[in-house]
Amino acid sequence: MQNILEQLGEDGVRDLVAAFYRRVRGDDLLGPMYPDDDWEGAEARLAGFLVYRFGGSDAYIRERGHPRLRARHMPFAIGEAERDRWRELMRSAMQEREVPEPARGELDGFFAQVADMMRNRVP
């Protein structure tokens, strides 16, 4: 996973997350899950987590502790449609930011695994 940070850098990861959240804001399925007054916070948290996960700064862990991703997302109804839309919007963001291979493939696999783990509603 450090290959991702080597290819994109921390700023590139943050740019990817910003491109993703521009899509989420206007999305009819995912957008309503976010409080209107915390878009910047949500973006900063995802960017910080990804930077940490890919071998960069540990600021996310110092500020928030263990990620506990599944527990933190439990209040939100996440089924297959939400999982798939999240991945679709992230893929579009990767395309916009022209994320190169092999980072794009590694990210896609990572996001697939994490997005599926977030599901808490059965079809």
Asked, for residue 122, whether it belongs to a domain, the answer is: no
Note the pTM of the prediction, 2 decimals. 0.92
Burial class (CB in 10 A: 0-12, 13-18, 19+), 58: exposed
Asked, for residue 8, whether it belongs to a domain, the answer is: yes
Asked, for residue 72, whether it belongs to a domain, the answer is: yes
Residue 104's domain comprises 2-117
Between CA 104 and CA 92 the distance in angstroms is 11
DSSP label at 74?
A: T
Domain count, the chain: 1
Asked, for residue 84, whether it belongs to a domain, the answer is: yes
Which of 17-26, 54-63, 88-97 bottoms out in mean pLDDT, i.e. has the lowest? Answer: 54-63
Task: Grade residue 122 by pLDDT with cuts at 50, 70 and 90.
Answer: confident
84-115 per-position pLDDT tens digit: 999 999 999 999 999 999 999 999 999 999 99
